[in-house]
Amino acid sequence: MAQLVEFRQSDLLVEVLPRYTDKPCDEKIMRRFHDDEDETGSQVSSTINLEDLEVQRQSNRDRASQTWWSRFGCCRRRREETDAERRARRIRWYRGCGISVVVLTIFGTIAAGVYIAFVSVLLRRLAPSLRQNGLQHIVDTWEEPNAGVAFQYEWRDDFSRDIVPKNCHSHNDYWRAVPLYAALAVGCTSIEADIWLTEDDELLVSHSWESTTKERTIKSLYLDPLANILEQRNATAADSQDKKTGIFDMDPTTTTVLLIDFKSDGAATWPVLLSQLAPLREKNWLTYYDGETLHQGPLTIVGTGNTPFDLIQAAATDRYIFFDAPLLSVSNDYNTTNSYYASSALSSAVGKVWFATMSSGQIERVKEQVEAADAKGLKSRYWGTPSWPIGRRDEAWKVLMGAGVGVLNVDDLVSATMWNWGWWVVAGIALCGNS
């Protein structure tokens, strides 16, 4: 029986003291007490174990949800940063990025400057130097024809000194800054001019009628300058009447070809052109066919475009305009007595060149076409060759020349005649080579 301890209102504790007796407790009661105590402890322990397990599961879920880069210590630390620390870190990051950009820009500018300087110096060292002769002097001082009169210059004895004639054709020559003379100065032996007939029987030179001018005629740009050159080159009395001297000192027997593209009606243009060629024919400067023999002169006239082939054939005994035959259909009608070239667009002949060079099938077709023209005694010519990239252009040139093409149709005269092909090309610029 418990005794109640003295209680006061201010006390907060009630102490219950058990009263022990000497009588031993019932063993069954004690065992039941201990069993109840163990059961209670087991329940508490089970509750604690479940809470720990839930915490562990939540930790595992959090760890699984993290990406591989967020497991680094720096990422965990960022989640514990304050706003001020986060702002400071961002400022440091932006400052570092800005410094990196500035440094890279400076080094990039320096590298670009070094590259440009290197390329410029290398090009100056490797680029072929222009020859100093009479032709180059004309190129440097040339002016447009005035009132249909050709540019006048003082003749120099070194007119074509050190110029090696080459089988290249100056395509659309009248588009050049200096027609005729620029092509001759690099050794091109073939030149192209497009002509339009006017109502007053004048032959204007231009690719289209809209761009014609009365000052640029076939006489002022080509016929009169060529006549003047041949006059000076054949001025000595020792020259034979039957064998005239050509334009180039390195090979005086080389004939220069003037390819005239008839843009207007061929039948109407024909007699006008014949009359303007008559002075050169009288001087015996033109290649001609007399009905039996082909006589080569220092200047050969070839007609293309709307040139009437039947009128060429009609001049049976005094033929001094020859035809530009179709390369893809060289028949028995075309031979050295009436034709000089056999031409075709490259795309029409072999298809489009898609890759850096022609395919083996395209190369074989080129060889077959060149051989067919050679069998007729005609010079093969392809226009519309690739112009860009430069590597593809040079590869096309090498393939054509390797196949034995009669003349190389070019727009870039200096690259075709004075640079070595197979040069290392970077961004369209030939830097150096091994040939």
For residue 330, the domain's CATH number is: 3.20.20
pTM of this prediction? 0.71
Between CA 103 and CA 110, with CA 106 as vertex, the angle to 5 degrees is 140
Classify residue 25: in a domain, yes or no: no
Query: What b/e readout covers 26-56, taking b as 16+ CB neighbours within 10 angstroms?
Result: eeeeeeeeeeeeeeeeeeeeeeeeeeeeeee
Q: How far apart are CA 345 and CA 354, in angstroms?
A: 15
For residues 106 and 164, state if they share a domain.
no
Classify residue 402: in a domain, yes or no: yes
Which pLDDT value is given to residue 82? Answer: 83
For residues 101 and 193, state if they share a domain.
no
Which pLDDT value is given to residue 217? Answer: 97
Which pLDDT value is given to residue 120? Answer: 81
Would you call 408 helix, strand, or coil by DSSP? strand
DSSP 384: S
Which pLDDT value is given to residue 148? Answer: 80
**Count of structural domains within the chain:** 2
For residues 107 and 225, state if they share a domain.
no
Classify residue 240: in a domain, yes or no: yes
For residues 301 and 152, state if they share a domain.
yes
For residues 341 and 234, state if they share a domain.
yes
Which pLDDT value is given to residue 391? Answer: 81
For residues 89 and 159, state if they share a domain.
no
For residues 222 and 90, state if they share a domain.
no
Which pLDDT value is given to residue 63? Answer: 61
Which pLDDT value is given to residue 14? Answer: 47
Q: How far apart are CA 386 and CA 391, in angstroms?
A: 10
What is the domain extent for residue 112?
82-123
Which pLDDT value is given to residue 240? Answer: 53
Tens of pLDDT along the chain (435 residues) come to 444 445 454 444 444 445 544 444 455 545 554 555 555 555 545 555 666 777 777 766 666 555 555 555 555 555 677 888 888 888 989 999 999 999 999 999 999 999 998 878 777 766 666 778 999 999 999 999 988 889 999 999 999 999 999 999 999 999 999 999 999 999 999 999 999 999 999 999 999 999 999 999 999 999 999 999 999 999 875 555 567 899 999 999 999 999 999 999 999 999 999 999 999 999 999 999 999 999 999 999 999 999 999 999 999 999 999 999 999 999 889 999 999 999 999 999 999 888 878 999 999 999 999 999 999 999 999 999 988 888 888 899 999 999 999 999 999 888 888 666 555 555 555 554 443
Whether omega for the bond prior to residue 389 falls within 30 degrees of 0, making it cis, is yes
Which pLDDT value is given to residue 284? Answer: 95
Counting Cα atoms < 13 Å in the Cβ hemisphere of 270 gives 21
For residues 118 and 146, state if they share a domain.
no
Spell out the alpha helix ranges (H) of 258-357: 266-282, 309-314, 346-350
